[in-house]
Structure 1
Amino acid sequence: MLLGDVAHLRTGDKGDISQISVIAYDPADFPLIAREVTVARVLRHLSGVAVRAATRHELPDLGALNFVLEGALNGGVTRSLALDAHGKALGAQLLDLPLDGDAES
């Protein structure tokens, strides 16, 4: 099972910071998402991105996690030479994160 099977995302970027909110389709899946989608796993899964600092905020009443990834945008959307390094691209990549005992990313 992949993260995208049980959750959707909202993303945003400001300067060199990307935010990715992971939101469970079904609130019953939030405990699985909270257990499996850790900062360490997100950083491993996005290993090609030079994140300076990462923070996870839990919003259990919303069935959501919010990840703040500082330095993830290679200097910022308007300064980066990277092709589509915006939060939407990072979020789309995160939806492929394996869950529930599947192979580690």
Structure 2
Amino acid sequence: MKLRELAHGRTGDKGDTLNVSVICFDAKVYPHLLQYLTAERVKAHLGGIVRGQVRRYALPKISAFNFVLEHALGGGVTRSLALDAHGKSMSAALLDIDIEPPG
């Protein structure tokens, strides 16, 4: 199943670093995503775009994750030649990742 069926995303960018937050629709799904939505999986899924490290911050009290993706914006928003490779489209790309169905 696609991650978008279990969660929604928000993004923000600063320079060449991108933050992508993934927020569970239902808190019951959070432990499942904690196991399967790793920094390594995110890096593999977005590997053609993200050139640097991916760090995951787990936020259990709000059933969410924040991923920090370094060197992900082609040098930064003002330096990139891409028309829409910035934050908003990146959350949609991450939500397209395949996730094992819960329980």
Superposed displacement of residue 83, structure 1: 2.5
Provide the secondary structure at the position in 2 that maps to 1:57.
strand
Question: Paired residue for 2:80?
Answer: 80
Task: Report SS of the residue matched to 2:69.
Answer: strand
* Partner SS state of residue 76, structure 2: coil
Does the residue aligned with 2:92 lie in a helix, a strand or coil? Answer: helix
Q: Look up the match of 2:100.
A: 100
1:42, CA displacement in angstroms?
0.5
Aligned partner of 2:90 in structure 1 is 90
Deviation for aligned residue 1:52: 1.3
Could you tell me which runs of 5 or more consecutive residues in structure 1 were left unpaired when the two chains were aligned.
none
Q: Which is worse superposed, 51-60 or 6-15?
A: 51-60
Give the TM-score, by structure 2 length: 0.93
Other-structure match for 2:7: 7
Q: Percent identity?
A: 50
Matched, 1:33 2:3: no
Distance 2:54 2:42 in 1: 9
RMSD: 1.1
* Aligned amino acid, residue 42 of structure 1: V
Q: Which runs of 5+ in 2 are unaligned?
A: none
Tell me if the contact between 2:42 and 2:54 (Cα under 8 Å) persists in the aligned partners: no
Q: Could you tell me the TM-score, scaled by structure 1's length?
A: 0.91
Structure 1 segments (4+ residues) deviating >2 Å: none
The letter for the 2-side match of 1:70 is E
Query: Equivalent residue of 2:35, what SS?
Result: helix
Shift of 1:51: 2.5
Contact 2:43 2:50 in 1 (8 A): no
Contact kept in structure 1, 2:50 and 2:69, CA below 8 Å:
no
